[in-house]
């Protein structure tokens, strides 16, 4: 509103003007670009505005034929002055009209209540946040570090994601420059914490609804809440019901005493189970989860470490956290041997940039079951030397520990291996060089390395061309596998429950077209995973419905590709 926007001014059937309107904060006026003869009249003081009406509810709109060409949802009128003159306007979209109406009503309400005594809703909110900060400041040093700030914000405002809080928090810490450079403790002060909380926890769409119905600044009375429930929610609400909502949802003691609902309490009410369109009882699966794995569709991610496309896209550890929080039950990455400048052996997850494998395992261990208790399938394509594979086995045991489940640990029949019985377990699917690759000549392997330039860094691949000729999985790693991988180029042959067939999308498409019944039959007794072609360097996706319809359980997708198909 302060930056302005184009609105249509309607005065009569033949007098319709498009003007640029904006708010002059210093003078407290609504202004617009005038014609030459009306330069002094192109303004309305906010203090002179009596009412803001939504829709075609003025005399001009009701009497002008031209108004029929404008949607009712985009029209609004401003009533101002001693003679109650109307300024009739039309926005380009419904959202823009709502912003103007809500913002003007809020400003008018603020002017009307600015002189009233007592604490405002804004002051009550800051008092509540100040009390929460003091209670959480165990050291009483007036500072909270990154982890303390994140945990406190999450406890006070449900639904705000960790990555959003972390991003904003780092921006704040960088802007206030706390730390060794200024001889201050690293962390947020109380005012900075309050500012950060308002930034990440205040939802614009909820705030617009609040001020639209609030008769007081930034807070709803019981009558306001009742009007909202009856008009917006279609609920026949009683005063007692509204008081109960205030008592249960409003976190500020001052606002509860005044029987008012602020922005945080209103947000809590709208996001609680009572207002959810989704049935809370369906949060836990109601289906029978005691059947074999091949009876279920499994959400799978391909090249999980990528943020964007495969050629220029960046890599990030946060990708693993994101897909796991979205409920993905299968993540994949490559592991390569690496020697750093100190001649210390490490394992890297890379493309074409590197992330330390230890950090990846730490993220997976922390977030593996954040959204689902059902088993997580970890697909690791091992490209490491024998010594690197030994180190990988040690790291898997160190970071994943008791969560790991191998086929040798199961003292039961294969038919009893079900998602329900393997809750909170991580199942490994490890694969080394295929036997076909091992039989290739050195020249052919170098050629393959050059072809792989399409999807990987040419310089990195060139330096690792000799490394491609590696051995298969060592016995220690092979024993840790839960699933055995078979790369197929045709109809998967009948396998056991623990043998998993993997095929690229082109093979799956050909088999589905030529022999769909055989593919459906194969999927009834084994898990089949379809992966995107390497030619999809932009991380686009094939249509998973095509393979799901053929009974394929795992359609591995590029989650980072914004679901482009």
Task: Give the contacts of 88 (CB within 8 A, at least 6 positions apart).
Answer: 9, 10, 11, 58, 60, 61, 75, 77
User: What angle do the packed helices 121-136 and 146-156 form, to 10 degrees?
Assistant: 130
Stretch (H or E) spanning 147: helix 146-156
Strands 75-80 and 85-90: antiparallel
Q: Six-digit token pair at 177?
A: 């420059």
pLDDT at 132: 92
For the ranges 55-64, 87-96, 100-109, 469-478, the one whose mean pLDDT is highest: 87-96
* Paired strand residues for 531: 504
Strands 499-504 and 484-487: parallel
pLDDT at 379 over 60: yes
Instruction: Specify whether the CB–CB gap between 503 and 528 falls below 8 A.
Output: yes
Annotation says 350 is catalytic: yes
Question: Residue 103: left if φ>0, alpha if ψ -120 to 50, beta else—which one?
Answer: alpha
Task: Give the contacts of 343 (CB within 8 A, at least 6 positions apart).
Answer: none
Mean pLDDT confidence for 261-280: 88
pLDDT at 561: 57
Domain spanning 121-201: CATH 3.90.25: no
- Name the DSSP class of 85: E
> What's the burial of 115, exposed, middle or buried (CB within 10 Å: 0-12/13-18/19+)?
exposed
Closest CA to 396 of 406, 411, 385: 406
Closest CA to 415 of 299, 333, 496, 342: 496
User: Strand (E) positions, 357-483?
Assistant: 376-383, 404-405, 426-431
Alpha-helical regions (H) of 250-354: 253-257, 263-270, 318-325
Instruction: Specify whether the CB–CB gap between 468 and 507 falls below 8 A.
Output: no
Out of 106, 216, 302, 558, pick the active-site residue. Answer: 302
Distance CA 87, CA 29 (A): 14
- Name the DSSP class of 496: -
For the ranges 72-81, 112-121, 346-355, 406-415, the one whose mean pLDDT is highest: 72-81
For the ranges 154-158, 222-226, 488-492, the one whose mean pLDDT is highest: 222-226
Instruction: Specify whether the CB–CB gap between 408 and 479 falls below 8 A.
Output: yes
- Domain boundaries, given as residue ranges, for the chain: 5-113, 121-201, 204-275, 293-432+470-483
Least confident of 177-186, 241-250, 379-388: 177-186
pLDDT at 427: 94
pLDDT at 255: 93
pLDDT digits (tens, 9 = 90+) for 189-227: 888 889 889 888 888 788 888 888 887 767 899 999 999
pLDDT at 241: 94
Percent of the chain with pLDDT over 90: 18
Higher pLDDT, 337 or 292: 292
Percent of the chain with pLDDT over 70: 79
pLDDT digits (tens, 9 = 90+) for 452-464: 433 334 334 433 4
CA distances from 560 to 149, 314, 361, 506 (A): 28, 11, 19, 21
pLDDT at 428 over 90: yes
Distance CA 246, CA 258 (A): 10
Q: Six-digit token pair at 224?
A: 């306001």
Mean pLDDT confidence for 292-310: 84
Out of 106, 192, 216, 350, pick the active-site residue. Answer: 350
Higher pLDDT, 519 or 468: 519
Distance CA 53, CA 356 (A): 59
pLDDT at 147: 82
pLDDT digits (tens, 9 = 90+) for 238-249: 999 999 999 999
Report the CATH fold assignment for 5-113.
PH-domain like (2.30.29)
Mean pLDDT confidence for 160-184: 69
Q: Domain 204-275 in CATH: superfamily? A: EF-hand (1.10.238.10)
Sign of CA dihedral 25, 28, 33, 39: negative
Instruction: Specify whether the CB–CB gap between 407 and 482 falls below 8 A.
Output: yes
Annotation says 192 is catalytic: no
**What's the mean pLDDT when you consider all of the chain?**
79
For the chain, the straight-line distance linking the first and the last C-alpha, in angstroms and rounded, comes to 37
The model's confidence at residue 182, banded by pLDDT at 50, 70 and 90, is: very low
* Paired strand residues for 354: 350
Report the CATH fold assignment for 293-432+470-483.
TIM Barrel (3.20.20)
Instruction: Tell me if 204-275 shares its fold with 293-432+470-483.
Output: no
pLDDT at 96: 87
Higher pLDDT, 114 or 90: 90
């Amino acid at each position: 509103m302060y930056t302005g926007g184009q609105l249509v001014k309607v005065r009569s059937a033949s007098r319709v003007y498009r003007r640029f309107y904006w708010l002059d904060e210093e003078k407290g006026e609504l202004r617009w670009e005038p014609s030459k003869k009306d330069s002094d009249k192109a303004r309305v003081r906010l203090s002179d505005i009596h009412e803001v009406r939504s829709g075609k509810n003025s005399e001009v709109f009701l009497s002008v034929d031209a108004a029929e060409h404008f949607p009712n949802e985009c029209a609004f009128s401003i009533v101002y002055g001693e003679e109650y003159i109307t300024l009739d306007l039309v926005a380009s979209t419904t959202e823009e009209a709502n912003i103007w109406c809500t913002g003007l009503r809020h400003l008018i309400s603020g002017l009307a209540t600015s002189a009233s005594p007592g604490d405002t809703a804004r002051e009550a909110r800051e008092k509540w946040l100040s009390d929460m900060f003091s209670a959480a400041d165990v050291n009483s040093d007036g500072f909270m570090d990154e982890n303390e700030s994140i945990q406190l914000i999450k406890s006070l405002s449900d639904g705000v994601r960790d990555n959003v809080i972390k991003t904003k928090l780092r921006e704040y810490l960088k802007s206030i420059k706390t730390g060794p450079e200024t001889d201050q403790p690293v962390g947020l002060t109380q005012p900075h914490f309050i500012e950060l909380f308002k930034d990440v926890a205040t939802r614009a769409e909820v705030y617009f609804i609040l001020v639209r119905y609030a008769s007081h600044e930034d807070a709803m009375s019981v009558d306001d809440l009742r009007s909202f429930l009856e008009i917006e929610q279609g609920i026949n609400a009683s005063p007692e019901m509204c008081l109960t909502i205030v008592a249960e949802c409003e976190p500020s003691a001052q606002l509860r005493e005044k029987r008012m609902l602020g922005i945080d309490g209103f947000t809590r009410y709208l996001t609680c189970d009572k207002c959810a369109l989704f049935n809370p009882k369906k949060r836990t699966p109601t289906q029978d989860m005691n059947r074999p794995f091949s009876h279920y569709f499994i959400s799978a991610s391909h090249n999980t470490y990528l943020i964007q496309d495969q050629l220029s896209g960046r890599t990030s550890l946060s990708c693993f956290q994101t897909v796991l929080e979205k409920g993905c039950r299968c993540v994949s990455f490559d592991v390569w041997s690496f020697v750093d400048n100190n001649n210390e052996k490490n394992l890297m997850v890379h493309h074409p940039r590197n992330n330390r494998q230890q950090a990846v395992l730490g993220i997976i261990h922390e977030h593996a079951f954040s959204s689902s208790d059902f088993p997580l399938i970890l697909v690791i394509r091992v490209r490491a030397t024998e010594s690197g594979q030994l180190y990988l086995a040690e790291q898997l045991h160190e970071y994943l520990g008791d969560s790991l489940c191998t086929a040798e640990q199961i003292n039961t029949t294969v038919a009893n291996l079900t998602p329900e019985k393997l809750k909170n377990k991580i199942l490994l699917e490890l694969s080394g060089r295929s036997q076909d690759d091992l039989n290739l000549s050195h020249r052919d392997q170098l050629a393959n390395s050059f072809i792989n330039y399409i999807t990987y860094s040419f310089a990195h691949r060139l330096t690792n061309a000799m490394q491609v000729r590696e051995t298969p999985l060592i016995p220690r790693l092979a024993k840790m596998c839960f699933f055995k991988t078979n790369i197929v180029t045709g109809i998967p042959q009948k396998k056991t429950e623990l043998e998993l067939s993997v095929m690229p999308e082109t093979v799956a498409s050909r088999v589905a077209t030529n022999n769909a019944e055989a593919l459906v039959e194969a999927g009834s007794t084994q898990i089949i995973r379809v992966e995107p072609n390497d030619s999809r360097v932009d991380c686009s996706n094939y249509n998973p419905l095509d393979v799901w319809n053929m009974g394929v359980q795992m359609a591995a997708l590029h989650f980072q590709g914004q679901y482009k198909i």
